[in-house]
Structure 1
Amino acid sequence: MKLTAWLLAAALVAASPLASAAQDAAAQLTHAKALMRAGVATQPQARALFGQAAQQGSAAAAYYLGLMLKNGMGGPQDSTAAMHWLELAAQGGVAPAMFILANLLLASDEVQARYWLDTACGLEYPEALQQKSLALGEGRMGYAHDEALSALYLKMATHAMGHRPPEP
């Protein structure tokens, strides 16, 4: 009896409008990524799809939109808009966005750059761990020079490379 009730509840949840909307959003994101990677001709469409999804609150879409704007893919390059969308993606927990944002902020706001780099390191994002290792080893980005801590971060980066999470 309990199994039947559980199966019925699971079927109702899967058929609910919220589950359907989540599946549609995931499908839209997958489609937009395919268009972005297909080449220059389909990138404007990808940029528009990422824009729609980002405006509806998708942190992953905000990340891809920010990348496209930063690199001038699918339309003109727009550093200000790129920074906006990458920051929203970073606030949404997208580690690659945190890492890119940290590097974009490095010249203008070292404190914020360090915040986003540390946050990405907390999520074990390999590139962030590697960059922090270098910064510690060289005493850059406001980090004190610390060879032992640098070696530890490099070891963590190496480990994280073998356990990379899926892309957003």
Structure 2
Amino acid sequence: MIFAAVMLIAAPIANAVDVAGQVVQAKILMRSGSSGAAQARLLFEQSAVQGSGAAAYYLGLMLKNGMGGEPDSVAALRWLELAARRQVAPAMFIAANMLASSDMDQARHWLDAACALEYPEALMQKAIALQEGTMGHARDQKQAALYFKMAEHAMGHRQPEP
């Protein structure tokens, strides 16, 4: 009975380690060139389905850029938005840019979410949007200057890649 309880507690921890290791393996395959890309996509998909935001992000990038198969922007956006919902800031930023021409409200949502996580590229893009009055923002030089400063600060404190 005690053994079964220990196994129930240990299983999620072991699974998390397996998923993290699988993501590392998939990243190595992805970066090894076209020979490992198809296998990387499969590993990322398996890990993403098991809850990995990083895996969903990398799978979205691979689909967007046609790595390991044909490009598929619809599937790429779906995986990137899943990663974004799992708090992966680069996925929020890329999803915002993919949506900018078709759904400005959702694009701004993801850009603002990435800004809230202090993602430098998102802060810079919002600063430019405020400076130029784009993305549905009114021109606001004071707010733009603030976002430029925030972007500069964030560049010195970059988060590690997912």
Q: TM-score per shorter chain, which class? A: over 0.9
Which of 100, 111, 114 is 1:120 aligned to? 114
**AA partner of residue 146 (structure 1):** D
**Deviation at residue 23 of structure 1 after TM alignment:** 1.1
Aligned twin of 2:80: 86
* Alpha-carbon offset, residue 57 of structure 1: 2.0
C-alpha separation in 2, matches of 1:34 and 1:164: 22
- 1:15-60 deviation per Cα after TM superposition (whole angstroms, max 9, x unaligned): 9222211111111001101110111111111011001111222111
Please, which of 19, 23, 26 is the counterpart of residue 25 of structure 1?
19
Q: For residues 79-126 of structure 1, what are the alpha-carbon distances to aligned partners after superposition, in whole Å with 9 as ceiling and x for unaligned?
A: 110011011111111100000000000000111101110010000000
Among the aligned pairs, what percent are the same residue? 63
| Corresponding residue number in structure 2 for 1:5 | none
Q: Which protein is bigger by CA-based radius of gyration?
A: 1
Q: TM-score with structure 2 length normalisation?
A: 0.93
Unaligned residue ranges in structure 2 (runs of 5+): 1-5
Give TM-score scaled by structure 1 length.
0.90
| Counterpart Cα distance in 2 of 1:23 and 1:51 | 16
Give the corresponding residue for 1:97: 91
Whether the 8 Å CA contact 2:19–2:50 is kept in 1: the answer is: no
One-letter amino acid matched to 2:75 = A
- Which residue of structure 2 lines up, in the alignment, with residue 162 of structure 1? 156
Aligned CA RMSD, in angstroms, stands at 1.4
1:16 aligns with 2:10: yes
Gaps of 5+ in 1: 1-11
Aligned residues of 2:100 and 2:107 also touching (Cα < 8 A) = yes
In the aligned structure 2, how far is the partner of 1:17 from the partner of 1:84? Answer: 29
